[in-house]
């Protein structure tokens, strides 16, 4: 049984339909990437899974339970943590407080604690008393990842974590992935950077206009297939 | 102005043409009513019409301008005191002095807006109340109009007021009744002019732009509306109308005190409930609201504070379960609009308290 | 010396206003909501304490300890079942609902307790005073001020030293992202209002012991509280205390010149601060 899956997931904002029957499967211990152009529905998919958008109860299942209609705080407590697009750090909290608030709804013992997060991103320990928004973009992204790890999640959702960051910084951040996996989390990584997505993932889903247009292991993907899935076969 | 044409085609409906004819007939009926109505009925109608006018101006502020003021009593009170001041101290006839009521309120509105516009939302609301308190306490220090205990209009002024002699002979009534009839006629004119004026204002391009002011300043700016100027305009117009009405109310009462003229209950709480119960952001709403308000007042006249309790509870219930008021409920079911202008208060939390798609918070 | 004494009395009076304001400041800080019935709830709490004291003969201080948990529960329920329904981007619904509550509450109190003035029995403590270097300070005003300081310290501890406080601030910053941390914003709002009602109960104790009260004085307390919060700057608890002190000092100075000017002087001080520092003296919150 898959750890997390969506079945025929649809989502709409008012009159605008953003997802048309999306099926995604995440097995325990696996990392999957979701790629696609702007407006493909990647962020809507993430918001649906983490509970910021309500869906049909049965369209999202986690560990055998239908979670489509649960609220974000309930889903987080079950062990799905999110690194939201744009980082969304709490401006009136310090770095350390941002990390601590990450375990508010799920304070369970596990690999991740302040100490191990600081071990993963040593710079955060130096800056732990600074206001979170005073940090550089890359450091803020580390806080956002650390904050999500603090709850020792079973699934970590990463939405566009490389957006707006320099390549060196992106490499630093992705260097954390093996330790995150080793600690027992399965990952869903949403990326616009196709190279990065193919490197990190066991399997890849490509989305276009609210539908999955291609899926498989990175090895199976040809440049042409990705191009077609990304921009449409006619292009 | 290409985008203004679709609105123009929407703003005239068959219901509105019928309503226009009915309104015209009603206005004529109201004007000739003193010929056969009792003095008690005239006084009740005076109360209804003046409260309706106050409600329309508060609705302009809060429902269209997004400026929730709970300090409208400042303008009622200052208008009333301007009337008493000029009549008592300068010996001017009360009828023309009414204009000074409006002007005094307009003058007061300038510093009020200057202070209150520094604050947003709820804090704007309370700051208008603070300013009303400051004015009340200051007026209570004004000894020549009776200080804290108040005063009456001198008999010499009320007895020989403009038009009253003619009314006395026309209807064969005493001078006190003639004063009621005069005040009533002025109230009819004021109410008709207010509703007509607001209807006109809200159908102009500027009025349509008011919608944008309440939503967000940024959105307003992006469609080329100077939201700051619109707020000032709405605030000043409301203050002028409210002051004028205040002067008229106290012309009829002929007796004033700071606590009564600056009462937050009488001139703001009642008015808010009238608008909210009837339907905020519509011209029809306050008209429905005043009918409900008057009916409740008549029904619960003998129960003292129960009356306000019931009014408050109805107001809360409407806000929780039917935020667009009784008229909104009716209009949604039937699609009827008597005064079609592009409507405020659509979307957001108001029309969907539990938005099915989003559970972001609340 | 007389002026120094007057100012000192004003500072202590400011403690009472800070108690009125602290709950308002807390609720605004967490959810940007202004409860227009705040003053009326203080008066209602004073009647609750009075009822307990007259029925059982217990000390008002003991009555507060018993009433506080009940008031917490009431505030929690008020937020959960009523205010959470209207909270949102539009300021109009919460304003109108709480304004309606204010009117209803005043008239319920009027119907239940009549318009007569009441006072909480405080025994010998109400007239006791301490002589400090030639200045007589009433024990009751000192106790009020001390309680205000304790309340402010407690609020700061909760806000800046606990997981709950982090949740308060996170929710205030961004309720949607806070829910990704497992925080349920509606629940956080309910707890904040519950705490505000505990402070309301403490404020009611001193309101009722220091002076007489009747069902109609709530709105004026709301206004003092509001002025203290704005003067102090939104989101700063120590600022709220400073704001209360400024209103208190302005009132006692005004009243020393002319007793009729007491209230007016407080309002004028508020308007002056608004003119010079529109965001208050110690602003912290973003808006």
Domain that holds residue B137: 30-263
Sort strands C135-138 and C129-132 into parallel, antiparallel or unpaired. Answer: antiparallel
Domain range list for chain A: 4-86+145-231
Assess whether pLDDT exceeds 50 at residue B347. Answer: no
pLDDT, one tens digit per residue, over A92-150 is 999 999 999 999 999 999 999 999 999 999 999 999 999 999 999 999 999 999 999 99
Is the residue at C261 inside a domain? no
Q: How far does the CA of residue B361 sit from the closest CA of chain A (Å)?
A: 9
Range of the domain at C183: 16-122+136-216
Q: If we measure between CA atoms, which residue out of A38, A49, A40 comes closest to residue A18? A: A40
What is the third-level CATH fold of A4-86+145-231? Rossmann fold (3.40.50)
Please tell me if residue C101 touches chain B, with a CB cutoff of 8 Å.
yes
Task: Give CA angle at B291 (B290, B294), nearest 5°.
Answer: 80
Is 90 exceeded by the pLDDT of residue A157? yes
Tell me, yes or no, whether C11 lies in a domain. Answer: no
Whether residue A96 contacts residue A129, with contact meaning beta carbons closer than 8 Å, is answered with: yes
Residues 149 to 178 of C: which have CB under 8 A from any A CB? Answer: 163, 166-167, 169-170, 172-174, 176-178
Considering only the C-alpha atoms of chain A, give the largest distance between any 2 of them, rounded to a whole number of Å.
Answer: 53
To which residue do tokens 């005069």 refer? B182
pLDDT at B337 over 60: yes
Among C165, C170, C181, C184, most A C-beta atoms within 10 A, so best to mutate, is C181
Statement: residue C128 has pLDDT above 70:
yes
Predicted complex ipTM: 0.93
First to last CA, chain A: 38
**Residue C2 located in a structural domain:** no
pLDDT score at B32: 86
Picking from B357, B359, B360, the nearest residue to A12 by CB comes out as B357
What is the average per-residue pLDDT within C244-263?
A: 95
Q: What is the pLDDT of residue B355?
A: 35
Could you tell me the pTM of the whole model? 0.89
DSSP C150-161: HHHHHHHHHHHH
Instruction: With beta carbons less than 8 A apart as the criterion, state whether B184 and B45 touch.
Output: yes
B162 domain residue, yes or no: yes
Let me know if residue C61 belongs to a domain.
yes
Cβ-Cβ pairs closer than 8 A, A with C, add up to 71
DSSP assignment string, C161-173: HSHHHHHHHHHHH
Mean pLDDT of chain A, nearest integer: 92
CA angle A27, A33, A36 (to 5 degrees): 140
**Does the distance separating the beta carbons of A54 and B356 come in below 8 Å?**
yes
Examine the pLDDT at B356 and tell me if it is beyond 70: no
Cβ–Cβ of B68/C92 closer than 8 Å? yes
Residue A38 near residue A63 (C-beta atoms within 8 A) = no
What local confidence, expressed as pLDDT, does residue C23 receive? 96
Which chain C residues are Cβ-neighbours of B293 within 8 angstroms?
none
User: What pLDDT score was predicted for residue C129?
Assistant: 86
Of C95, C107, C176, Cβ closest to residue B308: C107
Residue located via tokens 């056969």: B36
Beta strands in C69-174 (DSSP E): 129-132, 135-138
Contacts C169 to A, Cβ<8 Å: 90, 92-93, 97
The share of chain B scoring above pLDDT 90, in percent, equals 48
Q: C16: pLDDT confidence band, cut at 50, 70 and 90?
A: very high
Residue of B120, B315, B348 lying closest to C89 (CB–CB): B348
Residue B10: pLDDT band by 50, 70, 90 thresholds?
very low
Q: B357: which chain A residues are within 8 Å (Cβ-Cβ)?
A: 12-14, 53-54
Bridge partners (DSSP) of residue A32 are A188, A203
Whole-number average pLDDT of chain B: 83
Report the pLDDT value the prediction gives residue B224, as an integer from 0 to 100: 54
Which residues of chain A neighbour C173 with C-beta distances below 8 Å? 90-93
Which residues of chain B does C275 touch, with a Cβ-Cβ cutoff of 8 Å? 115
Among A90, A91, A104, select the one facing C182 at the smallest CB separation.
A104
Give the count of beta carbons closer than 10 Å to the beta carbon of residue B111. Answer: 11
| Pairwise CA distance, residues A202 & C157, whole Å | 47
Total structural domains within chain C: 1
């Amino acid at each position: 049984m898959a750890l997390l899956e969506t079945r025929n997931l649809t989502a709409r904002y008012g009159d605008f339909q953003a997802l048309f029957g999306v099926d995604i499967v995440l097995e325990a211990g696996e990392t999957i990437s979701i790629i696609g152009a702007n407006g493909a529905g990647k962020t809507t998919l993430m918001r649906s899974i983490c509970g910021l958008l309500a869906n049909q109860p049965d369209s999202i299942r986690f560990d055998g339970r239908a979670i489509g209609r649960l609220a974000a705080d309930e889903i987080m407590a079950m062990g799905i943590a999110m690194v939201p697009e744009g980082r969304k750090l709490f401006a009136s909290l310090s770095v350390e407080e941002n990390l601590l608030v990450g375990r508010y709804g799920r304070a369970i013992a596990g690999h991740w604690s302040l100490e191990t997060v600081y071990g993963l991103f040593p710079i955060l320990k130096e800056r732990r008393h600074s206001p979170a928004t005073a940090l550089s973009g890359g450091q803020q992204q580390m806080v956002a990842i650390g904050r999500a790890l603090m709850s020792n999640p079973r699934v970590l959702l990463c939405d566009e974590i490389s957006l707006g960051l320099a390549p060196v910084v992106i490499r630093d951040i992705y260097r954390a992935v093996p330790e995150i996996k080793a600690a027992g989390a399965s990952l869903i990584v949403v990326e616009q950077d196709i190279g990065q997505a193919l490197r990190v993932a066991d399997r890849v889903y490509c989305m276009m206009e609210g539908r999955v247009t291609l899926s498989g292991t990175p090895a199976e993907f040809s440049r042409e297939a990705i191009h077609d899935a990304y921009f449409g076969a006619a292009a | 102005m290409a985008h203004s044409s679709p609105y123009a085609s929407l703003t005239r409906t068959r219901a509105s043409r019928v309503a226009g004819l009915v309104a015209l007939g009603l206005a004529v009926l109201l004007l000739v009513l003193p010929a056969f109505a009792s003095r008690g009925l005239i006084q009740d109608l005076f109360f209804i019409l003046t409260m309706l006018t106050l409600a329309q101006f508060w609705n302009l502020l809060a429902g269209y301008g997004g400026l929730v003021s709970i300090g409208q009593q400042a303008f009622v009170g200052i208008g009333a005191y301007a009337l008493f001041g000029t009549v008592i101290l300068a010996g001017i006839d009360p009828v023309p002095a009414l204009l000074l009521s409006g002007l005094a309120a307009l003058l007061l509105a300038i510093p009020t807006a200057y202070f209150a516009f520094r604050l947003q939302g709820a804090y704007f609301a309370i700051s208008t109340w603070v300013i009303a308190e400051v004015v009340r306490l200051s007026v209570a220090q004004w000894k020549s109009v009776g200080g804290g205990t108040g005063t009456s209009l001198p008999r010499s002024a009320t007895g020989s007021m403009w038009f009253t002699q003619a009314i006395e002979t026309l209807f064969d009534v005493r001078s006190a009744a003639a004063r009621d009839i005069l005040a009533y006629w002025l109230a009819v004119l004021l109410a008709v002019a207010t509703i007509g004026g607001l209807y006109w204002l809200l159908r102009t391009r500027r009025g349509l732009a008011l919608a944008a002011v309440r939503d967000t300043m940024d959105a307003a700016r992006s469609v080329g509306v100077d939201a700051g100027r619109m707020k000032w305009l709405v605030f000043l117009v409301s203050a002028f109308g409210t002051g004028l009405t205040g002067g008229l109310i106290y012309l009829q009462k002929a007796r004033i005190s700071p606590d009564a003229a600056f009462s937050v209950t009488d001139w703001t709480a009642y008015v808010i409930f009238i608008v909210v119960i009837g339907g905020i952001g519509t011209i029809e709403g306050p008209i429905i609201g005043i009918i409900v308000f008057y009916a409740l007042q008549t029904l619960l006249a003998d129960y003292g504070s129960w009356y306000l309790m019931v009014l408050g509870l109805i107001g809360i219930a409407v806000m929780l379960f039917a935020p667009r008021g009784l008229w909104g409920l009716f209009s949604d079911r039937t699609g009827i609009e008597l005064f079609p202008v592009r409507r405020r208060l659509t979307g957001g939390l108001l029309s969907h308290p539990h938005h099915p798609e989003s559970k972001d918070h609340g | 010396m007389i002026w120094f004494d007057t100012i000192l009395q004003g500072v202590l009076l400011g403690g009472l206003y800070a108690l009125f304001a602290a709950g308002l400041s807390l609720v605004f800080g967490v959810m940007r909501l202004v409860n227009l019935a705040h003053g009326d709830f203080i008066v209602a709490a004073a009647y609750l304490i009075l009822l307990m004291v007259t029925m059982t003969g217990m000390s008002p201080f003991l009555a507060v300890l018993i009433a506080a948990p009940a008031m917490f529960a009431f505030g929690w329920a008020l937020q959960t079942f009523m205010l959470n329904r209207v909270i949102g981007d539009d300021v109009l619904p919460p304003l109108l609902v709480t304004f309606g509550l204010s009117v209803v509450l005043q008239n319920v109190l009027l119907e239940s307790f009549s318009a007569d003035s009441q006072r909480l029995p405080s025994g010998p403590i109400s007239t006791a005073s301490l002589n400090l270097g030639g200045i007589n300070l009433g024990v009751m005003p000192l106790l009020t001020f001390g309680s205000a300081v304790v309340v402010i310290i407690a609020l700061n501890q909760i806000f800046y030293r606990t997981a709950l406080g982090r949740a308060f601030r996170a929710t205030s910053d961004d309720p949607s992202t806070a829910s990704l941390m497992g925080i349920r914003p509606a629940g956080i709002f309910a707890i904040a209002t519950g705490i505000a009602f505990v402070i309301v109960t403490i404020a009611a104790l001193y309101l009722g012991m220091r002076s007489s009260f009747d069902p109609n004085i709530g709105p004026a307390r709301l206004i003092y509280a509001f002025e203290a919060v704005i003067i102090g700057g939104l989101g700063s608890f120590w600022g709220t205390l400073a704001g209360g002190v400024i209103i208190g000092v302005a009132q006692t100075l005004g009243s020393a010149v002319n007793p009729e000017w007491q209230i007016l002087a407080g309002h004028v001080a508020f308007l002056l601060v608004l003119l010079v520092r529109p965001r208050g003296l110690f602003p912290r919150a973003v808006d």
